[in-house]
Every structure is written in structure tokens, then in C-alpha cells.
Amino acid sequence: MKTSKWDKIFDGCVVLLQDSADRIDPYVPGGMSYEKINVLAFCVVLPVVMGVSLGLNAYLFRKLLAKGRQLP
């Protein structure tokens, strides 16, 4: 079976996360693993970044409407 480009990218990301976990492990109480980094990235960091982005977009949209401008 031929390995696709996306499989290689996914495998590279997994290796990167595993190496990162191994490097961070001595400094984190309770240790660090691939699974913990994955949860931290996708269940904590990503929702926070998306929430900030959404809030900023709403703020800028309201500011645009307050000046009487229309969307293009």
C-alpha cells in the first residue's frame, strides 16, 4: 500500500509531538505525554484562540457599523 502525502504529514506531526513531550517531561509535574500535549493543544489552546478571534471580529464588526460603513 502506498503512503500518501497526508499520512507522511500526520506521522511527522505525531513524531514532533512525541519529541516535544519527551523534552518537556522533566519540567512538568506528573510528566508529559503525547496525549497530554494533544489535549492541551486541541481542547484548551485552540478554543481559547478561536474565542478571542471571534470576540475580536465581533468588536471590529460593531465598530465598523458604528461608523456607518457597510460591508463590501
- Per-residue pLDDT band for 3 (boundaries 50, 70, 90) equals confident
Quick check: pTM over 0.85?
A: no
22/44 Cα distance (integer angstroms): 20
- Please name the residues in contact with 71: beta carbons below 8 A apart, sequence gap of 6 or more: 64
Q: What is the mean pLDDT of the chain?
A: 91
pLDDT at 64 over 90: no
DSSP 8-state assignment for residue 3: P
